[in-house]
Structure 1
């Protein structure tokens, strides 16, 4: 029998209990690279209070719950680049840490045709608890790391994600292997594209595919990238390419070479602001 968890307020008024993991994990926090890595959809944890959100365990294996393979690639990049990495531990179905609070996808009641009973008819207090105890601490830690890192380096921010080859809701094939997302500032995206094509011009890479960066459907780009004026890019990798450890290692190695080349390119090609 599926359990959606007890959504009544705990005696201390908190969502997360002592047995729940922290919202973030830092890997290689003292890394010497000027690159800082994020992986906002790494984990599939659900606070004990919320049970399983009313969905089967099989749903937590799908792309709706987390970015398949992204954590492995991000960790591989962190090692290869000697770059600090901030990972999110909770499922995007609990709260999406790459969405603004007002975004419908921040706590979706439906995700790619799957109903999420534990997210239906959430009260304002329930939404705020998830946001304030998971989303806010994660991004506070990102800001803290970027503040410290920026005192020593000209920081380049790289967020690592993955996407499914097709959505169930439309069945349209997504042929790209890599998507480079940006909003107002395309400097690092264009440098990285140049580096990717230079390494292997058979890679099917595109700008702003299968999503377009914007203020409502992204958080790290506008808040940590654009507001700081630092170079940044969100990398989307098709998840069938990185579903296993071998694929994750292969693409981490390839992207590490490309990122290293991109952040070494002189000048400020593209648009900022």
Structure 2
């Protein structure tokens, strides 16, 4: 759901993952080889994008598809996303040692400073929470995650050569796009479904979910943005979400919605470009508004820094299959390649 506007800025998260998630020093290797490249004991593993073939000569000359590695090796290589797996916080009672880290990070040295975020990419629940007391149908429904949004984010990361941060746990555990003071950050009910494990949640339980998941994810996103910020250029942030076609029995006609607040630099040209073909109904702050008072991600990571941004909402029936995800990623990538040629997007917003 909605990718954020006027929430409160939060700056008190720990910085444990910032250095780890901003590294790009994976040695040149054959993509899809299945081996992890460790970057120092107990820090971060870098895994080349699975399913990609090819190799790199390593000399900056005849580099081929699938090369990942230092910049002097990658000069002739297409920039393939590199999965960076951050280490979980030691001693967390929420996540077992064999469970995934709080977020997935795709790092790319792309042609422009561009960051993608997907707050609701996963419906996973830590084993320690016993499925939040929900049945399997609820955990695969739209209340648990933004169906298809994670897949589209990964495809766009490759097509646009953009770094991306994706959540690895369900919004029902903690909503990463909500101000922590808002009750919907730990929802007790969602679209009429009772979340029993979130009823009367203790301060201690909320603090542990915040520490292990919320702060880890936002630290990672902050680190990627910082790594792409220079004195000459600032990155663009795009948040990807999806929405259910029906809410309370009412059909939502929009196929795509663009969310924004005060800065029109990316949102308005993006809406115009998506509407040009005449085959999409594109919402302007529909079906959610970028001016929502409780949303968090854009407020915290873009608006406070003056970064150009947009929230992209996609109707779930268009991206609930692999073919639909591919089509939507192709459509968005083609439009964004044109819109992102405006260099004014890579400077702080002057109002």
Q: Deviations over 1:101-156 (max 9, x none)?
A: 01121110000000010111101111111111100110001000000011274311
Which of 240, 259, 284 aligns to 1:207? It is 284
Question: 1:61-80: CA deviations, max 9, x gaps?
Answer: 11000000001111110110
Tell me if the contact between 1:29 and 1:84 (Cα under 8 Å) persists in the aligned partners.
yes
CA distance in 1, matches of 2:291, 2:185: 14
- Determine the C-alpha separation between the residues in 2 that align with 1:266 and 1:197: 22
Unaligned runs of 5+ in 1: 1-11
Comparing 93-102 with 19-28, which one deviates more in the overlay? Answer: 19-28
Q: TM-score, normalised by structure 2?
A: 0.70
Matches within 5 A, 1:70-149: 70-149=149-228
Give me the whole-angstrom Cα distance separating, in 1, the residues matched to 2:255 and 2:113.
Answer: 26
Q: Deviations over 1:153-196 (max 9, x none)?
A: 431110110000012xx211111000001122222111211221
1:255 corresponds in structure 2 to: 332
Tell me whether 1:224 sits opposite 2:301 in the alignment.
yes
1:174 corresponds to 2:241? no
RMSD across aligned positions (CA): 1.7
Counterpart-to-counterpart distance in 1, 2:133 and 2:202:
17
1:235 aligns with 2:312: yes
Contact 1:215 / 1:222 at 8 angstroms: preserved in 2?
A: no
Q: Is the 8 A contact 1:180 1:233 kept in 2?
A: yes
- For 1:246, the equivalent position in structure 2 comes to 323
Q: Which runs of 5+ in 2 are unaligned?
A: 1-90
Which of 74, 93, 109 matches 1:30? 109
Structure 1: distance between partners of 2:273 and 2:343: 13
Which residue of 1 is the match for residue 270 of structure 2?
192
1:53-101 deviation line (CA, Å, top 9, x unaligned): 0010111111000000001111110110011111100000000111110
- CA shift in 2, pair 1:272/1:66, >3 Å: farther
Distance in 2, Cα, partners of 1:52 & 1:32: 41
On the 8 A contact 2:275/2:281 being kept in 1, the answer is no
Compare 107-116 and 41-50 and name the one that shifted more. 41-50
1:266 Cα deviation after fit = 5.6
Relative to structure 1, is the Cα distance of residues 17 and 96 closer, same or farther in structure 2, using a 3 angstrom cutoff?
same
Check conservation: 2:92, 2:212, Cα contact below 8 A: no
